[in-house]
Structure 1
Amino acid sequence: MYTPFSLKGVLLGCSTSATQTEGSPTRNSWYDWAAKPGRMKDRSSPCNANQHWQRWREDNVLIQQLGLQVYRMGLEWSRIEPTPGRFCRKAMNRYREEILDLQKRNVKVLVTLHHFSNPTWFESQGGFLRKDSPQIFLRYVTYVVESIGDIVSDYVTLNEPNTYVTLSYFLAQWPPAKHNPAISIRVMRNLVYCHLASYRRIHRIREERGFSGRTMVGFAEHMRVFSAARPKDRPLASAMDYLFQGLTNAMYTGRLTAPLGVEAPFGDGRFYDYIGINYYTRLWVSGKYIGSKPDSEQTDLGWEVYPEGLSLLMRRRYRHLCAPIWITENGIAARNDKQRCRFIYEHLRQIAISGLPVERYYYWTLMDNFEWAEGETAAFGLIGCDFKTQKRSIRPSAHFYHEIIQNDGITQSMIDRYLK
């Protein structure tokens, strides 16, 4: 049963990442990874992607046509710092030009500083296993904010550090494909340091230079609901929950907890200006089975569609952190575009009825892109992309989303046309 609702006060947009859209290869961990046989589901590579590095003007027009109010975009670290300590002004100016063009189109930009990919030189030297990795990352962050801090006030320091650690250093499914719990803890601890130091540095640079606008810094946390099928499954579900999204508490408060440590390297404090949540699905825990709940509605990737989880997780974070909520990612891999319309409706409805201070919602993603190990097989986009011809095709769900923005919510007329 679909009913109208209001989203007045919530800014709506899309989220993207640099490695997944830009093409025009640079030397980074994901270009290197995709070049190895058997790594990719479809033998594709981020060398192609959406060719956004060249076609950004065309894509910005599409962003404007959809009426997006906010847009989350990533910067490619390896493009900006191609060799250690040497920065590419040409690349930075190119990003600056893209941001200014979006702003002329009345789109507010949120910049992501790290989204899973590392420069090859950094990865080959140990990446975030290096003891001095927080200092190396901070060097890059400082250069970026000094270069665009006058026009960008909103930042995501790290995208899904918990996902990055899990898939790269525990399950060994992403580069550098290490399977070692002890190493996973070391990397997570260094990522916490990266965020804490970057949070302080971004604020300091913008304050000292007198840049206008309210500085908003946080990280994008991948959150999932871990549901126990039976009472005896609760201990495992709780343990998985804590290890996946409990250790990230240190990135909010500055205080590490076991097994990361017990120190507060920058002192106890508040290291967030918003609560950034990436939400897609839940995991059903039943004995040795961990996955989507049997007989549930699922996406093309086999992820359960569970809208109620979004409000559960928003309440959980808000109860402890009491800050504005930004849904920094929420989307569905679906060739069936009707399913995408339903997904958007159901998750936005959770926001509308929550009563929580949700300020922004970023749908993942603008157009079908290079979806990491899934390659070019996962259709998350409001806009389709033929990766051979680079033709963009606006889907009905994009028109639906545009109308939601125009109407500050869902009307009965929209329900009749898009959801029935």
Structure 2
Amino acid sequence: MLGLVIVLFIIIVIIICFRWYLSHVHSSLYWCWDNGNEDKRIAIDTNNGPVASNWSEWEPTHIKHGQKCGLAVDHYHRYKEDIQLMHTLGCNAYRFSLAWDKIEPIEGQYDKDILTHYHDVLKELHRQSIIPMITFHHFVHPLWFEQRSAFLDSSNISKFVRFSIDMFQEFQDECHLWCTINEPEVYVSGGYFTGIFPPGHKSQPNEASLIMQHLLQAHVDIYDGIKKIAHQPEQHSIGIVKDIFQFDPWNPVNPLDIYTSHILDYAMNGCILDFFRTGCFKWTMPGTIHRTYTNSRAPYTNDFIGLNYYSHFLVRFNLFKPSFYEILHRQDDSGSALMTDMPYALYPEGLYRACVRIKNQLPCIPIYITENGIADRFDDRRHLFLRRYLYAVSRAINEAGCDVRGYFYWSLTDNFEWAEGYDMKFGLYHVDLQTQERTLRDGSKYFQYVIQKHREKYEKKNL
């Protein structure tokens, strides 16, 4: 009888502990959004021609519906019009990347006309009082670089470093914010895990880990190289852009889901943040090479961290899948399960979590939210996305003390969204590809309102 009582007592304690975990720990990962009825006025503080590249060779065979980029929304030629749209919206900063494939179509030979184009873009931005932020590598590079195994070959690192430092030297008088590499883990995952990015190698974690190491090495070399040659090093801020998609367990009390999500999160997020915190890169995934790389300079090579944030993944262990896990999403299409047109849900809580994570793991390093946006073809969720994600930024600043210096919405206009082609509508402006007309989406009016209120508060504060 006593034994039965003890067993029942233990069961009750376990149940109480689970309920406490679910109500106090797991539930804190989600906020109550009142099904979209929350106050709509939340106050917050806050192509010049064909060029051969890794992506030009990749399309249209590997792009959804066999689509081809072409001129896309023709921002290359219509940059003045688009910069005027930024000014009209109230934007005071613009992040863009330099097209390495256009600038250096032949190794060692820079196209002077393309460089002149970028000088003209920068002049127009300054004329409209818009601060530029330049990115050196955003997934695309010249075909000659790809044909030499790109970042898989360590001898190619110096080629990218040389290009980046040369571009800094070219534009340093016109720009003071610099991003070295955009989302290294996305480049690695798309090209060497899922195979939806060039070169399309699927399930190659050993290649992926080596490329990740080389990208991180390149970042450190670029940072040090720029600081050495800059006329006024203290005026230039340089950082890497880190996309954070949290990998959370599908079942928060299932040890296998918890373990699998932890492994994935460390491989895509933790190992990079640890590298910039400790100088040691460690790649640990079951069944792969255990890779380590140490660079004592790494903790001193970010004047800021660029944070790209969209959503999170729910991970469930599945013995019958080749990878032994699957990515799932809630199915009730409300609250935390409200989906975007991309295969992920609205999850503004995660933007707060990502800011806090960077603050805790890389203290004293400012944050620029370099991408945050929604694919919303019918523009019926964009207003919710903007209100909720900007609210999350406000909480990160005011409650958690995160040093968030800026916010860039992705994107100003619709675009050719990599492997998704033209199917995904991220832009604040819809672009008719036939007429190239730009039309402000209704949901974006809230964005305009927020910028105006923020500007008024900033100006009042600095009177």
Same fold (TM over 0.5): yes
Kindly state the Cα deviation for residue 340 of structure 1 after the two structures are TM-superposed.
0.5
Deviations 1:363-395 (A, max 9, x none): 110011000011001000000011222121111
Matched, 1:59 2:88: no
Kindly state the Cα deviation for residue 266 of structure 1 after the two structures are TM-superposed.
5.2
Counterpart Cα distance in 2 of 1:119 and 1:219? 21
Counterpart Cα distance in 2 of 1:25 and 1:306? 38
TM-score (norm 2): 0.81
**Structure 1 portions without partners, runs of 5+:** 11-21, 412-420
Counterpart Cα distance in 1 of 2:81 and 2:246? 38
Q: Is the 8 A contact 1:221 1:277 kept in 2?
A: yes
Counterpart Cα distance in 2 of 1:267 and 1:361? 28
Q: Is the 8 A contact 2:274 2:361 kept in 1?
A: no
The alignment of Structure 1 onto Structure 2 pairs a total of residues equal to 394
Q: SS of the counterpart of 1:227?
A: strand
Q: SS of the counterpart of 1:381?
A: coil
Counterpart Cα distance in 1 of 2:317 and 2:455? 41
Residue equivalent to 1:318: 359
User: If you compute each CA radius of gyration, which structure gives the higher value, 1 or 2?
Assistant: 2
Of 28, 43, 46, 2:53 maps to: 28
Matched, 1:332 2:406: no
Residue equivalent to 1:303: 344
Residue equivalent to 1:418: none
Matched, 1:113 2:141: no
Relative to 1, partners in 2 of residues 1:393 and 1:72: Cα closer, same or farther, differing over 3 Å?
same
Counterpart Cα distance in 2 of 1:409 and 1:67? 8
Structure number with higher relative contact order (C-alpha < 8 Å, ≥ 6 residues apart): 1
Kindly state the Cα deviation for residue 24 of structure 1 after the two structures are TM-superposed.
3.5
Matched, 1:284 2:299: no
Residue equivalent to 1:274: 304
**Structure 2 portions without partners, runs of 5+:** 1-37, 285-289, 319-325, 458-463
Residue equivalent to 1:214: 235
Q: Percent identity?
A: 29
Measured on the aligned residues, the alpha-carbon RMSD in Å equals 2.0
Matched, 1:404 2:450: yes
- Structure 1 stretch 164-173 or stretch 350-359: which is displaced more? 350-359
Residue equivalent to 2:244: 223
Q: SS of the counterpart of 2:267?
A: helix
Counterpart Cα distance in 1 of 2:456 and 2:386? 11
Relative to 1, partners in 2 of residues 1:364 and 1:140: Cα closer, same or farther, differing over 3 Å?
same
Q: SS of the counterpart of 1:155?
A: strand
Counterpart mapping for 1:251-262 below 5 A: 252-253=276-277, 254-259=279-284, 261-262=291-292
Counterpart Cα distance in 1 of 2:452 and 2:186? 34
Of 270, 280, 285, 1:246 maps to: 270
TM-score (norm 1): 0.89
Of 353, 359, 366, 2:405 maps to: 359
Counterpart Cα distance in 2 of 1:281 and 1:263? 29
Counterpart Cα distance in 1 of 2:274 and 2:229? 23
Residue equivalent to 2:163: 140
Kindly state the Cα deviation for residue 205 of structure 1 after the two structures are TM-superposed.
2.2
1:257 maps to a residue whose letter is K
Q: SS of the counterpart of 1:221?
A: strand
Counterpart mapping for 1:139-178 below 5 A: 139-178=162-201
Q: Is the 8 A contact 2:276 2:298 kept in 1?
A: no
2:161 maps to a residue whose letter is L
Kindly state the Cα deviation for residue 116 of structure 1 after the two structures are TM-superposed.
0.4
2:440 maps to a residue whose letter is I
